[in-house]
Amino acid sequence: MAMTADAAQTIWLGLVIGNTRLHWAAFSDQQWLGTWHTDHLSAEQVRHLMATQFAPESWQGIAGSHPPEIARPPKTVWLAAVVPKQRDLWRGHAQVQEVALDCLPLTSLYSTLGIDRALALLGAGSTYGWPILVIDGGTALTLTAGDRPPGAETGCFAGGAILPGLSLQVRALPAQTEALPEIFLPDSLPPRWANTTVEAIQSGIIHTVIGGLQDYLQDWCQQHPQGQVIFTGGDGDRLLAYLTESASFNANTTHKNDPVASCFRVDENLVFWGLRAYRNQLKGC
């Protein structure tokens, strides 16, 4: 079934190239039409998608979820990438508009800040207000903070942190050792003091990551008691579930009432809200 889109509105795609997957969204001007994810593409697949104007049949043979049916071809593709080899496959196509870090309506950005982190911060601040902390549970687990100083028209990057993500840590141990088995991430917190090898790996990875996040969150909540925390990325909902389950998290946070219910939430589309905000203001750059 085709997604609803006014004939007078412009259809456009957002494409964020991550370390392991491509993340897509379709918009009709400001209206979000849907999100999907695919594996990285070959040069031939990119050329085919562009030549067929992203027609439904052009996605056949591409691994991953497929887009909703859209009433007409997109006019542009707004691209943000952290993988140069994948990014370069899209360059040179007239329909593709690449996001420039120095054109984002954010201040205090440093030149090597990941464009995905910056867009997620912009999307979070534009949607939920400032101050804001984004925790992205992707291949890399990143914390990205932002605020808007009094009288300022735009948000300000306020620092952050990067560490290996949960799924990356899970894959790394069996890949780099002879005896340790492959494991999975459980739905709930594993026992801290484990009695099997699988649970010991789960405990070591999950409890150290959650303990570190609790420390960052306690500091953030003390500095910004009215601030919000948004989880995103493939493991974003899992991280929030682990934190919610952890008794020490609920005991140590400084937010009043129920901290998880009041200021912590999951939004898988932050980076696309950032792309939309970037597109809206680009003419002024």
Question: Which positions are annotated as active-site residues?
Answer: 116
C-alpha distances out from residue 122 to 29, 167, 269, 275, 279, Å: 18, 25, 12, 8, 12
Length, in residues, of the chain: 285
Angle at Cα 113 formed by Cα 111 and Cα 114, nearest 5°? 130
